A and B are shown apart, each in its own frame.
Chain A
Amino acid sequence: MKKFDKDRLLLAAAGPALALVSAFVLTMIVLAASGVDPIDPLRIMIEQAGYEDIQVLIVNQAGIYFLAALAVAIGFRMNLFNIGVDGQYRLAAMLSAVVGAAVSLPGPLHVLLIVAVAMLTGAFWAGIAGVLKARRGVSEVVSTIMLNAIATSLIAWLILPKNFGVQPAGSNDLTTGDIPESGWFPAVSLPGGDIYGFTFVAFALGVVYWFVLNRTRFGFDLRASGASESAAQASGVEPKKMIMTSMLISGAVAGLTGMPLLLGESHTYNLSFPLGIGFTGITVALLGRNNPVGIFFSALLIAFIDKASAGLDTAGYAKEIGTIMQGLIVIAVVVSYELVRRYGIRRQQQKVGEELAAGHAIKTEKEVAA
């Protein structure tokens, strides 16, 4: 039993390792092919990561990616592809910013309210796709993509000054007004900058995710439904209910994605609030194999590429090298996981075959002896 586990662990690590090595090699080939020194940009990026202010940026960004990836992973475990994390977190951040700016409560309550509104909004937006899937069989891939576009338009309308938006005097920006200080989440101050307090909440959620998935009845049902819907149904799991629940939870976690920034940095939702984190979350979840530890490290890696590549600009290289690297990682991940999976199956078959053959041999020997 123990040996089998070690094998599985090795195989699980082989996928990401193979993907990363081939992605880095491919990046160097791309660089060399376009006439750029293939080593120097990578050296600069690693050097960048040595600076403490860049490290703070990396950790903060990793926390944000971690939340988005967790939301995606919850869906993945249930065989649901929630591409709508992007729309869910933006709408959640926007509405919770509106509520946060409108009320004034004592410290922790204020933050809790903002977080609750964000989770509810995210859950609601994902829930629409859940209902469509459970009731009408609409593919969640299609509906969540469309809901992303609808969220964009809805936010653009809601943030107009005639609705919830505020245009500060002399500014060309639109905001949702400033959240009073009671609604800020305390940060951990380091010499290199502030690490958003919510980053730690994010990583703690990873533990909760692991516990719920592996140590509760619900987690078992979820994984069972993901592995085989009909088998799960046969053992008494109601698939429609599972679709709804996992979509709602995925959306609620997605709603938290904007919180580190909203509670720790901008304290308002404005036109330059980042978008696209939901899509990066898919990359991170894939790379991390939906496992909280894996997601943690892949969030760090992608955040590292993001922040370290920004410094390439001043060194005379195109910072898009980072984007190329991320794209290659995605491709490499998909290919290498499939390769490793096939290799695993073949190996297993081989082993079973060997064991059977060996068993047969023993049996024959015995027969002969008798």
Chain B
Amino acid sequence: MSVASAALALSATACGGKKSSDSSSSSSSEKSAAIAYDIGGRGDQSFNDAAYAGLEKAEKDLKIKGAEAEPTEGESEADKVQRLTELARKGNNPVIGVGFAYAPAIKKVAEKFPKTTFGLIDDTSVTGPNIANLVFNEEQGSYLAGVAAAKASKTGTVGFIGGVEVPLIKKFEAGFTQGVKDTNPNAKVLSAYLTQPPDFTGFAKPDLGKAAAKGQLDGGADVVYAAAGLAGSGAIEATANAGKWAVGVDSDQYNQAGLAKYKDKILTSVTKDVQSAVYNLIKSVQDGTPQTGEVRYGLDKNGVGLADSNPEYKKMAEVIAAVEKAKADIIAKKITVKTAP
């Protein structure tokens, strides 16, 4: 051990004056964009994967190079600053932080790289001339899910499962509950959260989602909406196995390979088009007109919405009519959806 520490101390004194990002400076001929992921990283079947899909599309369509970086568990703000600085200094433009946790770090780094555009998903608290805040009206999509759930339910009881009890997920709950109640004032909404912050395993552990869904099914729910990332797949499994309706989240989960076994019971999914948001930002930078300030994706721009891939869902004329009406009302601002329960 003393050898290792001695070596460490030696390298600490010997190689002063070099920064990690100096090593591979940008080759200015090749354009590149970078994504810094949220906890969970790629492969979460949800948020981070959607961001990656946007980058992948940009790589193909815009002929750029993509760079990615993942966080480590238990890291602090300094690590995020380090990660973004490294990505920016290597010449990536734009640099996109996936998730609100990047807000303080982007504030610090954006000032140091005024010529680089920074994308920040799910947060508008940090602004700047070279910061694009990519935000979504999750509550609007969830409202439509609430309308569909209330219409499709026979028992009058529906369930909501949130991954982690954070303000972002409360937006999903608020919209869903309002949608249910506006459609059927007598309906009951069972609500559960899998974990409390800073324990974010509620977005990652399918067994937690499964247990929570079982509880709600036992409580009489016959439609269960899970906004819980990867943990939501557990909820979908339990709900489908019980022969009840599940509602997916973020991407169209009916088409997700991992859930093919249960897709017949996936009524619909509340989509959140992180993919397009990421792609649009990269494209705007390539076109020389980088997005800046708040870029909001609501029902009107199809930034959020309700998927209709399930043929069973398409047969439910009454449900679809109610959803379409609610959608038109929200876009026409006849309905305002709450963002907190």
Complex contact A173–B8 (CB within 8 A) = no
B contact residues around A322 at 8 Å (CB) = 72
Q: How far is the CA of A246 from the CA of B21 in the complex (A)?
A: 45
Complex contact A50–B165 (CB within 8 A) = no
The stretch that binds B, out of A96-104, A204-212, A300-308, is A300-308
Complex contact B17–A52 (CB within 8 A) = yes
Complex contact B70–A50 (CB within 8 A) = no
Complex contact A271–B68 (CB within 8 A) = no
Given A174-B197, A271-B198, verify A310-B19 contact (CB < 8 Å): no
Given A52-B17, A172-B167, verify A306-B72 contact (CB < 8 Å): yes
Q: How far is the CA of A198 from the CA of B23 in the complex (A)?
A: 31
Q: How far is the CA of A156 from the CA of B8 in the complex (A)?
A: 39
Across the interface, A60 reaches (CB within 8 A) one of B3, B78, B133, namely B78
Complex contact B196–A153 (CB within 8 A) = yes
Complex contact B19–A192 (CB within 8 A) = yes
Query: Which chain A residue shows the least CB distance to B68?
Result: A313
Q: How close is B297's CB to chain A, nearest CB, in angstroms?
A: 15
- What size tier do the contact residues of chain A reach? 35 or more
The stretch that binds B, out of A13-21, A129-137, A223-231, is A13-21
A contact residues around B3 at 8 Å (CB) = 17
* CB of A33 within 8 Å of the partner chain: no
B contact residues around A27 at 8 Å (CB) = none
B contact residues around A51 at 8 Å (CB) = 15, 18-20, 22-23
Q: How far is the CA of A41 from the CA of B223 in the complex (A)?
A: 48
Across the interface, A52 reaches (CB within 8 A) one of B18, B67, B72, namely B18
* CB of A253 within 8 Å of the partner chain: no
Q: How close is B72's CB to chain A, nearest CB, in angstroms?
A: 6
A contact residues around B70 at 8 Å (CB) = 313, 319
Q: How far is the CA of A159 from the CA of B5 in the complex (A)?
A: 40
* CB of A127 within 8 Å of the partner chain: no
Q: How far is the CA of A75 from the CA of B73 in the complex (A)?
A: 26
* CB of B79 within 8 Å of the partner chain: yes
Q: How close is B153's CB to chain A, nearest CB, in angstroms?
A: 29
A contact residues around B133 at 8 Å (CB) = 170
Complex contact B19–A173 (CB within 8 A) = no
Complex contact A49–B74 (CB within 8 A) = no
Complex contact B11–A170 (CB within 8 A) = no
Q: How close is B11's CB to chain A, nearest CB, in angstroms?
A: 5
B194-219: contact bitstring with A at CB < 8 Å (1 yes, 0 no)? 00111100000000000000000000
The stretch that binds B, out of A233-241, A274-282, A340-348, is A274-282
Q: How close is B84's CB to chain A, nearest CB, in angstroms?
A: 12
B contact residues around A313 at 8 Å (CB) = 68-70
Q: How far is the CA of A171 from the CA of B35 in the complex (A)?
A: 20
Across the interface, B74 reaches (CB within 8 A) one of A192, A274, A309, namely A274
In residues 176-202 of chain A, which contact B (Cβ within 8 Å)? 191-193
* CB of B335 within 8 Å of the partner chain: no
Q: How close is A244's CB to chain B, nearest CB, in angstroms?
A: 29
Contacts A153-B196, A170-B123, A173-B101 supplied; 15 other A-B pairs, CB < 8 Å: A13-B2, A16-B1, A152-B198, A172-B122, A172-B123, A173-B103, A191-B16, A261-B76, A271-B197, A277-B74, A280-B74, A298-B1, A301-B5, A306-B72, A319-B70
Residue contacts A-B, CB under 8 angstroms, 6 given: A152-B199, A171-B167, A174-B167, A191-B16, A271-B197, A310-B79
* CB of B328 within 8 Å of the partner chain: no
Q: How far is the CA of A351 from the CA of B179 in the complex (A)?
A: 82
A contact residues around B103 at 8 Å (CB) = 171, 173
